[in-house]
């Protein structure tokens, strides 16, 4: 019996029916593409790792913008839980504004629920403006707000008039959609409607790009920025790690959108294509091969010979600089196996890097991805809208005639599309080894059961699984927050990532789990011990 069958056999009929479509074993011999169910409701009670819509909007997309004051409209919990927990780094810009270390909440109390909280919100905005004087205020609503009917959009409009600032409200109540993913979409819509295209200051450099879906966890964005600047690109805006309102407001004047995390930000990329004619390119700055391919793809897009040459120079220098380190790390990591369960892109991105270190992936899954993230964008036309996704507004963006520019001729576009990921994401499954498992919305029970069956040396996940795994003797590294480390992206990040794996796998503690008197009595060693030593 394979691992899938064994795990499903533990479920009752109803759960079985639900979960069987979310798990697949990669089989290269199957005719046609393998299909997986994704972005459907989590089964109640089985300990999903998923978060809520608010987490996707405030926590993921809107929160990292450093110079906007983001007020959580709701009881204290939600705001508190997103306070400095995602490790998205930021430094203040020239105006000195950086609110990343702050948590702003209207701290709704019982009377606010009974009599409405909009008055309190109004006053809270006033206080925020008076004390912090931000250029932009964002309001993110939590579960009760949608139910008691506070009109946060009206309050935002009033505040704009009164204070002459931008004030945008996001109705991202936790219960919307089936996971964080709904919140990403709502945040994308808000940024598109209110911020993008509101400032027409053009970029200065010849090659200007936006970096979409990079949240600067542990400084990833800064490492990518370093590399792109070396090649000669101007990064007009980053969505949204260490992002700022000014950059986002003039992002439509860049030449190209680079998409790192497809799941959380593809909406903006597509909407900017419709409105401004901007193309987007799927990139991956995790893993040396992937970085090189991304840089070459960008140079190809711009078609400039000097740029291509400079790209090759930078690649050669950067690779040479990390060669010794990566060779050492590979010698220590070769032959290990890994499982990955992260949000909506990283489970895929990190497989490239692991492969370079000789680590084989035995299982990978996404927490809140859609089918296209697994199977590639070619399945988009086949995805049926369900009740939950219909509830999330789909913005129909119209062409902005004044600002619409076409960078590539149709011929060149067609030609390029053949060999770079121009407006294309091919999904995770195609890069996974035969016989490995793909699991959507992996839960607590499955994590444990798959670990027992597949015995990976490392399980990349988040804090909720980490201790479950480590108590059982399997090393776990957090790929959401990088366990206080990072950056892991870029050339230098690859070295740091490898260093962290080696330190984890070779930690002396694993060898000391079983006391000597038990060894003598013929007790079995913990699994973690044997596999790492």
- Residue of the chain from 197, 243, 473, 487 that contacts other proteins (CB under 8 A): 473
In this structure, which long-range contacts are made by residues 120-127, counting pairs with CB atoms below 8 Å and at least 24 apart in sequence?
A: 121/71, 121/73, 121/150, 121/152, 121/155, 122/155, 122/158, 122/159, 124/71, 124/73, 125/71, 125/155, 125/159, 125/163, 125/167, 126/159, 126/162, 126/163
- Residue of the chain from 25, 308, 444, 511 that contacts other proteins (CB under 8 A): 444
- Residue of the chain from 321, 503, 514, 533 that contacts other proteins (CB under 8 A): 514
Do the beta carbons of residue 139 and residue 129 sit within 8 Å? no
Of 22, 66, 184, 263, the active-site residue reads 184
The DSSP line for 40-107 is SPPPTTS-B----HHIIIIIIIITT-TTEEEEEESSHHHHHHTSS-S-B-----TT----TT--EE--
# residues near other proteins by CB under 8 A:
99
**What are the phi and psi torsion angles at 84 (to 5°)?**
65, 25
Active site residue 172: no
Alpha-carbon distances of 480 from 70, 136, 222, rounded to whole Å? 22, 28, 17
Of residues 152-181, which lie at the interface with other proteins (CB under 8 A)? 161-164, 173-179
CB of 112 to other proteins, least distance (A): 7
Which of residues 370 and 377 has its CB atom nearest to other proteins in the complex?
370
Of residues 13-52, which lie at the interface with other proteins (CB under 8 A)? 14-15, 41-52
CB of 21 to other proteins, least distance (A): 17
Active site residue 55: yes
Tell me the chain's radius of gyration from C-alpha atoms: 24
CB of 374 to other proteins, least distance (A): 21
Q: Which stretch binds other proteins (CB under 8 A): 103-111, 225-233, 340-348, 356-364?
A: 103-111
Active site residue 86: yes
Per-residue 3-state assignment (H helix, E strand, C coil) for 292-326: HHHHHHHHHHHCCHHHHHHHHHHHHHHHHHHHHHH
Of residues 403-442, which lie at the interface with other proteins (CB under 8 A)? none
If one asks whether residue 111 binds other proteins (CB under 8 A), the answer comes out as yes
Q: Can you count the helices (H) and strands (E) in the chain?
A: 23, 14
Q: Which stretch binds other proteins (CB under 8 A): 127-135, 229-237, 238-246, 251-259?
A: 127-135
Active site residue 103: no
CA nearest to 379, candidates 417, 430, 441, 443? 430
Which of residues 304 and 388 has its CB atom nearest to other proteins in the complex?
388
The site map against other proteins for 451-470 (x = CB under 8 A) is -----------xxx-xxx-x
Which of residues 64 and 528 has its CB atom nearest to other proteins in the complex?
528
If one asks whether residue 77 binds other proteins (CB under 8 A), the answer comes out as yes
Give CA–CA dist 502/492, Å, rounded.
16
If one asks whether residue 102 binds other proteins (CB under 8 A), the answer comes out as yes
The site map against other proteins for 379-398 (x = CB under 8 A) is --------xx--x-------
Catalytic residues: 52, 55, 86, 184
């Amino acid at each position: 019996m394979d691992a899938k069958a064994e795990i499903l056999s533990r479920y009752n009929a109803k759960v079985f029916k639900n979960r069987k479509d979310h798990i697949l074993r990669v089989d290269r011999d199957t005719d046609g593409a393998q299909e997986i169910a994704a972005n459907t409701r989590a089964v109640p009670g089985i300990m999903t790792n998923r978060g809520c819509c608010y987490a996707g909007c405030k926590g993921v997309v809107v929160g990292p913008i450093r110079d906007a004051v983001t007020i959580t409209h709701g009881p204290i919990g939600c705001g508190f839980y997103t306070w400095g927990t995602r490790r998205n780094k930021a430094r203040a810009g020239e105006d000195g504004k950086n609110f990343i270390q702050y948590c702003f909440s209207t701290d709704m109390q019982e009377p606010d629920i009974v009599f409405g909280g909009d008055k309190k919100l109004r006053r809270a905005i006033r206080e925020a403006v008076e004390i912090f004087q931000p250029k932009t205020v964002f309001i993110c609503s939590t579960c009760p707000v949608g139910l008691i009917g506070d009109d946060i959009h009206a309050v935002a409009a009033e505040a704009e008039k009164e204070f002459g600032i931008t004030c945008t409200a996001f109705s991202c109540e936790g219960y919307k959609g089936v996971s964080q993913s709904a919140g990403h979409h709502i945040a994308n819509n808000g940024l598109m409607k209110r911020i993008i295209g509101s400032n027409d200051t053009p970029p200065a450099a010849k090659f200007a790009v936006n970096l979409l879906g990079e949240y600067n966890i542990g400084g990833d964005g800064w490492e990518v920025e370093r590399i792109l600047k070396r090649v000669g690109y101007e990064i007009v805006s980053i969505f949204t790690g260490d992002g700022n309102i000014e950059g986002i407001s003039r992002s439509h004047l860049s030449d190209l959108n680079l998409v790192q995390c497809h799941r959380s930000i593809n909406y903006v990329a597509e909407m900017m294509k419709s409105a401004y004619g901007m193309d987007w390119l799927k990139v991956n700055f995790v893993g040396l091969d992937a970085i090189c391919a991304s840089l070459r793809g960008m140079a190809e897009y711009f078609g400039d010979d000097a740029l291509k040459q400079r790209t090759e120079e930078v690649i050669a220098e950067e690779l040479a600089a990390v060669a010794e380190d990566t060779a050492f790390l590979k010698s220590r990591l070769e032959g290990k196996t890994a499982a990955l369960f992260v949000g909506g892109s990283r489970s895929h991105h990190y497989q490239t890097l692991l492969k370079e270190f000789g680590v084989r992936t035995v299982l990978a899954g996404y927490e809140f991805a859609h089918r296209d993230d697994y199977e590639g964008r070619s399945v988009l036309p086949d995805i049926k809208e369900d009740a939950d996704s219909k509830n999330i507004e789909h913005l129909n963006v119209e062409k902005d005639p004044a600002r619409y520019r076409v960078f590539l001729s149709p011929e060149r576009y067609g030609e390029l599309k053949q060999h770079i990921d121009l407006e294309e994401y091919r999904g995770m499954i195609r890069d996974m080894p035969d016989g490995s498992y793909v699991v959507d919305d992996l839960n607590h029970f499955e994590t444990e059961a798959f670990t027992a069956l597949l015995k990976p040396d490392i399980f990349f996940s988040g804090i909720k699984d980490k201790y479950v795994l480590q108590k059982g003797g399997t090393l776990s590294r957090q790929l959401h927050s990088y366990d206080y480390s990072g950056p892991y992206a870029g050339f230098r990040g690859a070295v740091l990532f490898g260093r962290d794996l080696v330190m984890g796998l070779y930690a002396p503690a694993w060898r000391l789990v079983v006391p000597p008197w038990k060894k003598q009595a013929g007790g079995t060693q913990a699994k973690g011990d044997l596999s790492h030593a």
